[in-house]
Amino acid sequence: MAERLQKILSAAGVASRRTAETLIEQGRVTVNGKTVTALGTKADAGADDIRVDGRRVKAAGRRRYILLYKPRGYITTRSDPEQRPTVIDLLAKGGVREYVYPVGRLDYDSEGLLLLTSDGDLAAHLTHPRHGIEREYEVRVKGVPDAHDLERLSRGISLEGRRTAPAAVDMTKVVDAESGPQALLSFVIQEGRNRQVRNMCDAIGHPVVRLRRVRIGPITDDRIRPGEFRDLTPGEIASLRTPARADRQRPTAPPPRTAPAARSPRSPGDGRRRRG
């Protein structure tokens, strides 16, 4: 059955529909040997030879939904021209062979929860601003922001000529460090601008010392450790498809703790953690 190319690429896990459209416009997609640049082009995934950058696109099969704790020092991408380690390297070491890609980003120096999937439609849902998917971070900053600083962060900060959306920002603790006092902040945002939290903290004069993402929408897991990953449960996947509510999203409880998984491919949704 003929379908739009961007839908085929998304269903096959190559990229989200929006990114697939960019690939088409850049002339990186071919159908039966001919380069296609028109977004309205249709093809049959079962009959046509569809390729992206010369690599044949396989028809959509089993979709994978993975929750990874990204350690610091890893790039949130499938490959890096500077040959730095990527989150895909962690999954490959743990036995993941399916073509998955990160949903959103985490900076090289940041850590915490990251979703990877082969489901392009869900990835588009989670990253589109209109859906208001919350991301929660634990952020340690130099110094101790005062009430005015916290109010500025909550109202929004002007970055590169555009104000950030309102955020929920609270100071949870003050700790003593060799360089002086540092504050631990809870940050909840619905945007995904590049280095947004770091840039917001820089703007109030309290640069980030450490940044960790602890929640994506309703998904949280305080038992997963840096470098570990697991498949989402069916309940967690369903919760991600539910439109965000105007109030704070209720976190989904992680699956019960289980014994360490063997290094062999697993069925999706079994909830076991793997170390890359």
Q: Is the pLDDT of residue 255 over 70?
A: no
User: Which is more confident, 45 or 164?
Assistant: 164
The Cα 211–Cα 138 span in angstroms is: 6
Let me know if 149 is a catalytic residue.
no
CA 182 → CA 72, 107, 111, 149, 202, distances in Å?
A: 20, 21, 19, 14, 14
User: Which is more confident, 186 or 255?
Assistant: 186
Q: Considering the chain, what percentage of its residues have pLDDT values greater than 70?
A: 87
The Cα 206–Cα 163 span in angstroms is: 18
The distance in angstroms from the start CA to the end CA of the chain is 39
Choosing from 48, 80, 107, 202, the catalytic residue is: 107
Question: Which domains occur in the chain, in start order?
Answer: 2-56 (3.10.290.10), 65-130+218-275 (3.30.70.580), 134-216 (3.30.70.1560)
Of the ranges 46-50, 154-158, 247-251, 262-266, which one carries the lowest mean pLDDT score?
A: 262-266
Quickly count: other Cβ atoms within 10 Å of residue 8's Cβ. 25
Q: Which residues pair with 216 in a beta bridge?
A: 135, 219
CA 244 → CA 13, 84, 187, 218, distances in Å?
A: 24, 35, 18, 9
pLDDT in tens, 103-127: 988 999 999 999 999 888 888 888 8
Cβ contact 188:136 at 8 Å: yes
User: Which is more confident, 74 or 17?
Assistant: 74
Quickly count: other Cβ atoms within 10 Å of residue 105's Cβ. 17
